[in-house]
Structure 1
């Protein structure tokens, strides 16, 4: 009996547990849920409400009226017009401000230069080169001279100094005939080279008993004759009788008939005194002299010392004359160690450089070295000949680099000039202080700046025989960074910093400066 009651109670409990299936628990699915296995996991948590038929919204484009309402009505059109007008007014205001800044800001003015102000002069005698044949050999070298960057030749020794009165139709002894000179002028013009005839120290006054008027007519006729043959002008000395207002005014009258904008004829005066004698022209609008050739070093029978060279260079750098266009030449004698330094100085100073004849620039001399034993002294060692060839090649490379840099850089052509009194430290001061023998102090570094606009070229010259390093506080207003353009040793390339730069003995360096982060 008890056993039956116990089984009945268990059965009743089991039925009660299964009766909870209507609530959605257990294995019995609730209302709206699937009764399949896993149905409770895949069933949606939110049951969408049933939509009535026909209540689905149909999308269509808005009409013009609806767009105007959505955009804020007709007032929005006025706001948009005002914004567009404000934009253009602001743009025009910025454009006008930029133009005003450009107009008001200082800018470099390009100076129109004459041909002689841009030209590089090369002074020589037609028969000066060893082994040459005078004028005929010079004609062969004209294209070579032009490739070096030379723009004009000053030819000396063409006319006989003994002719009195002056007969410019008579050539000098041993330097060719009149047809050869005429051929040289024609070939020079074809090669793009101007030719200036040197008549310095020639007697232009005529014999003492001759009529002055006849002598003047003879000289004027001779000047006219050579201008007709293509001569670009004449070179005289400041001690000549032709250096006078009367003579130069007569020459100007003849020049005017043969001159044009690109073919203007010139008068070059070689200054032999410390001060050029003044010319008081009665016609204020007439320039009697175009170029004054000045020497950096004074004439001397002996080679000048290093200290004398430095003093003369500094004197010319500090006291420059702006009255007449200068043409610089070396002039006096100096040691061969300073030859390249003086070339760099001439090429970078304001004015037109005049380079004296240099056998290192003679094409025929260079060819004779390359021809070997047929043109070489049998007693000369081969190593010595090779060293000479390297020296000549180095001289030509330095000359070409300087001439081409000068022709394409406005700062070197007509840029402003600023002498820089640099302070330098002698790198060998400690060693020299220990020396028992006293020696003269090494000259300080000489330097100047050529500027045009934002472009600056710094030229450093160490005339002395000791290395020099620049003082870090040498010029705080100038950029410290730059790139090497060239130097006398042709062994400096790429970028540099002036704070760590050290100049070698007898070295000249040309550096193009730029601001940090700029490569103008």
Structure 2
């Protein structure tokens, strides 16, 4: 009997072919498929670990953009090095083309410190001991230790002496062996000796009167001088040169030409013989017309800072003379400065400092404060005195020590500092100065202005300040705005200033001179 399906009823075997026959991707449609299917889906197994390896050249070229990137990198490196070399070349060109000081090789007489003395002064000081020349021989090592390089012996010959006997009987002090011994000892102490023959009749009597030609007569006199005056004799003894005055008959072109001809026979690079002319007139006779080529017939011209006077010059007169020489341009001939005139004892150290710092070769006059025997005797006397010695004796002893210390400091500073030796010179025209006064006084008395000048070499500057007046003074900061404001003391007249200072706080004492080495803040030049 067939079963009839009623409407709305699901057949019993519908699962085989009907709705229950839906099979999943992992389930089987069979009767046991639901039991064999896994309950959890397993995770995929990790891939095996591969060790890192650098890229090959081909892979690197592919990663870096190929061969074109290599060319670009080489071009960039080439441009970098070319730019660096170009900047280096520009820097070198700036250094080479920029103005800089050129060191001029100086000769021995341009670097030397001349010491003028007369042996009769030593004879008077050492009357109880040896003579003047013997006493001088004993002090030669001491003078060399002070920084002195050459001696100018003044008054060694009698004035108006005959030129033919200057080598044997014309000496004022001792016999010829003593002078030869002095020259030998000076050579041993590395000191040059220059003989002064001012006002000595080297040419002999001249008779140019009459109808004869004066020029031919002068030529005959010059020839006679060349034959009679023993230039060769003294040059063979080791004399470094001769000093004459501009008022002597030898101060002429023809005579000096004869001198140079003889000097060339005995000169060398280290031992060049020189001619020193002491200027006594206000204007020196020009010698350019007497020059032989580029070699001048006169090597050194000795000038005086102060004019000759029978009385002591006042502070204003001294300041005016100093300012006149500071504003005067130096000629081509190498100058040598000396004090010359008379000034008060208060300005003694100030003038010494000025002479030692001016361009040229300083020529210092003999000073008993620099006498070694005087200093030794002073120490011996002081050691045997009572402790209650007078203040004047103590002041004299301190003064002698300060003068010797000032001289030694200036000479050694000049020897090692290019700015003080051959540096440029710049006068600083300070129109006025501010002077301090006590509260009891009203206005300070009129005083000479503070004089100042610079000695410069490259970036090194030395400032020299001179207060000639009797009142203390201070520089106004606006006088030299371009100068460095800081500096260090090198020397002063009392030798009691040390360490650093600034120009806006510096005050000069009466009759004081100071040497300051300027530097920029933070620099160590």
- The answer to whether TM tops 0.5 is yes
Which of 267, 281, 289 aligns to 1:273? It is 281
State whether residues 369 and 375 of structure 1, in contact with CA within 8 Å, keep that contact through their aligned partners in structure 2.
no
The equivalent residue for 2:6 is none
Aligned to 2:367: 358
Q: After superposition, where does 1:2-21 map in structure 2 within 5 Å?
A: none
2:270 counterpart of 1:259: no
Other structure's SS at 2:85 match: helix
Q: Deviations over 1:229-280 (max 9, x none)?
A: 1111000011111111121111100001111122111000111110112333
* TM-score, length of structure 2 as denominator length: 0.83
Pairwise CA distance, 1:102:
0.9
Q: How does 1:228-307 map to 2 (within 5 A)?
A: 228-279=236-287, 280-281=289-290, 283-307=292-316
Q: Give the structure 2 partner of residue 462 of structure 1.
A: 467
Match of 1:7 in 2: none
Matching residue of 1:22: none
Task: Write out per-residue CA displacement over residues 134-156 of structure 1, whole angstroms, 9 at most, x where no aligned residue.
Answer: 21221121111111111110011
Tell me by how many angstroms 1:375 deviates: 9.4
Cα pair 2:475 2:507 within 8 Å, conserved: yes
- Corresponding position of 2:328: 319
The 5 A counterparts of 1:490-509 are 490-509=495-514
1:484 corresponds to: 489
Q: Distance in 2 between matches of 1:381 and 1:174?
A: 41
Q: Distance in 2 between matches of 1:313 and 1:53?
A: 103
Cα displacement (A) at 1:310 = 0.8
Distance 1:170 1:160, change over 3 A: farther
**For residues 404 and 511 of structure 1, what CA distance do their matches in structure 2 show?**
15
Q: Say whether 1:96 aligns with 2:96.
A: no
Q: Distance in 2 between matches of 1:431 and 1:457?
A: 37
Equivalent-residue separation in structure 1 for 2:131 and 2:286 (angstroms): 41
Task: Evaluate the alpha carbon distance shift between residue 185 and residue 295 of structure 1 in structure 2; reply closer, same or farther with a 3 A threshold.
Answer: same
Find the counterpart in structure 1 of residue 76 from structure 2.
Answer: 83
Give 3-state SS (helix, strand or coil) of 1:473's partner. Answer: helix
Secondary structure of the residue aligned to 1:55 is coil
Q: Matched residue of 1:395: which SS?
A: helix
CA distance in 1, matches of 2:407, 2:315: 23
Within the alignment, does 1:391 sit opposite 2:399 as a pair? yes
Cα distance, 1:236–1:93 mapped onto 2, change above 3 Å: same
The answer to whether residue 450 in structure 2 is matched with residue 445 in structure 1 is: yes
140, 149, 154: which one aligns with 2:152: 154
Judging changes above 3 Å, is the alpha-carbon distance between structure 1 residues 403 and 282 closer, same or farther for their aligned structure 2 residues?
Answer: closer
Partner of 1:114: 107
Say if 2:188 is the partner of 1:190. yes
SS in 1 for 2:238: coil
Aligned residue pairs, count: 465
3-state SS, counterpart of residue 371 of structure 1: helix
**CA offset at residue 83 of structure 1?**
2.3
Greater mean deviation of Cα atoms: 475-484 or 162-171: 162-171
Greater Cα shift, 168-177 or 152-161 = 168-177
Once residues 224 and 415 of structure 1 are traced to their aligned partners in structure 2, the CA distance between those partners, rounded to angstroms, is 36
Between the aligned partners of 1:111 and 1:390, the Cα distance in structure 2 is 39
Instruction: State the distance in 2 between where 1:434 and 1:213 align.
Output: 64
In 2, the alpha carbon distance for the partners of 1:323 and 1:68 equals 74
Deviation, structure 1 residue 184: 1.3
Q: Deviations over 1:398-435 (max 9, x none)?
A: 00111111111111112111111113111128754369
CA contact under 8 A between 1:167 and 1:218: conserved in structure 2?
A: no
1:282: Cα distance to partner? 6.8
Tell me which residue corresponds to 2:98.
105
Q: Which moved more, 1:63-72 or 1:233-242?
A: 63-72
Aligned to 1:338: 347
Task: Check the 8 A contact 2:488/2:498 in 1, yes or no.
Answer: yes
CA RMSD in angstroms comes to 2.5
Determine the C-alpha separation between the residues in 2 that align with 1:76 and 1:190: 78
Contact 2:161 2:170 in 1 (8 A): no
Gap regions ≥5 residues in structure 1: 1-48
Q: SS of 2:456's equivalent? A: strand
Match of 2:337 among 296, 313, 328: 328
Q: Are the structure 2 counterparts of residues 488 and 197 from structure 1 closer, same or farther at C-alpha, using a change threshold of 3 Å?
A: same
- Between the aligned partners of 1:226 and 1:375, the Cα distance in structure 2 is 46
Instruction: Encode CA deviations 1:66-91: one digit per residue, 9 max, x unaligned.
Output: 33333333333222221221221111
State the structure with more CA Rg: 2
Equivalent residue, structure 2, for 1:25? none
Range that drifts further, 208-217 or 503-512: 208-217
CA contact (8 A) 1:195 1:232 kept: yes
Gap change, CA 1:219 and 1:479, over 3 Å in 2: farther
- 1:169 to 2:167 alignment: yes
Query: Do 2:163 and 2:201's aligned partners in 1 also have CA atoms closer than 8 Å?
Result: yes
Deviation at 1:347, TM superposition (A): 0.7
Partner of 2:23: none
Gap runs ≥5 in structure 2? 1-41, 208-216
How far residue 214 of structure 1 moved from its aligned partner, in angstroms, is 6.7
